[in-house]
Amino acid sequence: MRIANLSGRLVLITPDGGAAVDVERASDGRFGADPQAVYEQWDAFVSWARTADSSAGEAFAEEDLGAPAPAPRQLLAIGLNYSEHAAESGFGVPDAPTVMFTKWASCLTGPVTEVVLPTGGHTDWEVELVAVIGRAARNVSEEDAWDHVAGLTVGQDLSERITQTAGPSPQFSLGKSLPGFGPMGPWLVTTDEFDDRDDLELGCSINGEQVQKGRTRDLIFSVPAMISKLSEKLPLLPGDVLFTGTPAGVGLGRTPQRFLAPGDELISHITGIGELRQRFVAAPGA
Ligand code: ZN
C-alpha cells in the first residue's frame, strides 16, 4: 500500500501509481484529510485501506505531492551510519548510534521542488531511506521493531556544511534545516510491499551523473536496530520521521570537494519506492 500527501490531503495511491484516492471522501469521513493525523490511527487505517475501493482514483501531478509525514512531533536523523561514508567523513565506524540530530520540520517538502541555495554556503546532498513510525515505540526489541514502522519513503538530508560544522561544539541541525532542505516522498510505502525491506538500493545523481549508490543492508544500525536503541532513550511517537543515514559519495568527502550549484538537478531514488527531484537556484541577489 502506498499513501501520499496530495495538496495537503491524505490519498491512497493506486497500485500502478497513476491515480490517487482521497481518503476522507472514500472513507465517508472516518479518516480525516490531514496526512499527519493518519499515523495516530494507523492500525485502523491499514485495515480499512486494504479493502478500500480505489476505482474512484484520479490522475495527479507529482509536483502537487507534499511530504507523506509533513509535521512530525519528532524528526530524528543519524549520522555516520554507513562505514564508507564514515570513512569519507574522516571518522571510524561508531559502535553506538550516538551521532543523532534533528531536522526541524519546517524544512520538510514534497518530492519535486526548487531549492534556493544559501549565499556563501556549501550545500551538499545525502540520499537516505526514511522510516515513519506507525505505532508508538518504547523499549522495543529489534525483533519487534519493524512492527512499529508505518512505511518507508525516500529522503534527502540536504546539508549546508559550513553552518553544520561551525562553532566549538558543532550542532548539525541548523545547517540541515534551511528552507526546502528536507524533501521526502514521493509516497510512503508499507513494508509488506518489499521483497526484502532490509536490503533496498538507494542512490542519487546530479545532472545525470551518479554520485551516490548504496544498499540499506550496509547500514551500520539497521532500521530495527535504530528503533530499538532509540526507544531505550525516548518514546518514538506515531508519525515520527527517522532519517537513517547516507551512503558514501557526498560532496564533502570528494577530492576536490563538490557542492550543489545553481542550475543543478538532483535526482534521488530508492528502488521499490520512487524518486525525488530537486532543482537548485541561486538566492535572489546572489
Ligand atoms: Zn544525513
| Gap from CA of 2 to ligand 1 centroid (Å) | 24
3-state secondary structure 73-137: CCEEEECCCEHHHHHHCCCCCCCCCCCEEECCHHHEECCEEEEEECCCCCEECCEEEEEEECCCE
- Per cent of the chain over pLDDT 90 is 89
CA distance 230 to 160: 26
Q: Give tens-digit pLDDT for 71-129.
A: 999 999 999 999 999 889 888 888 888 889 999 999 999 999 999 999 999 999 999 99
| Gap from CA of 130 to ligand 1 centroid (Å) | 10
| Gap from CA of 212 to ligand 1 centroid (Å) | 13
Cell (9 digits) for 211 = 554520485
pLDDT given at position 58: 94
Q: Give tens-digit pLDDT for 237-246.
A: 999 999 999 9
> Beta strand 149-156 with 241-243: parallel, antiparallel or unpaired?
unpaired
Amino acid letter for position 236: L
The Cα-based distances of 180 to 84, 116, 183, 209 in angstroms read: 27, 8, 7, 22
pLDDT band at 285 (very low <50, low <70, confident <90, very high): confident
CA distance 36 to 208: 33
pLDDT at 54 over 80: no
| Gap from CA of 47 to ligand 1 centroid (Å) | 33
Q: Give tens-digit pLDDT for 208-228.
A: 999 999 999 999 999 999 999
| Gap from CA of 273 to ligand 1 centroid (Å) | 19
| Gap from CA of 4 to ligand 1 centroid (Å) | 23
Number of H helices, E strands in the chain: 6, 18
| Gap from CA of 252 to ligand 1 centroid (Å) | 12
| Gap from CA of 102 to ligand 1 centroid (Å) | 10
Domains within the chain, CATH numbers bracketed: 2-60 (no CATH), 65-282 (3.90.850.10)
Q: Could you tell me which residues are beta bridge partners of residue 20?
A: 13, 58
Evaluate whether 235 touches 138 at the Cβ level (below 8 Å): yes
| Gap from CA of 101 to ligand 1 centroid (Å) | 9
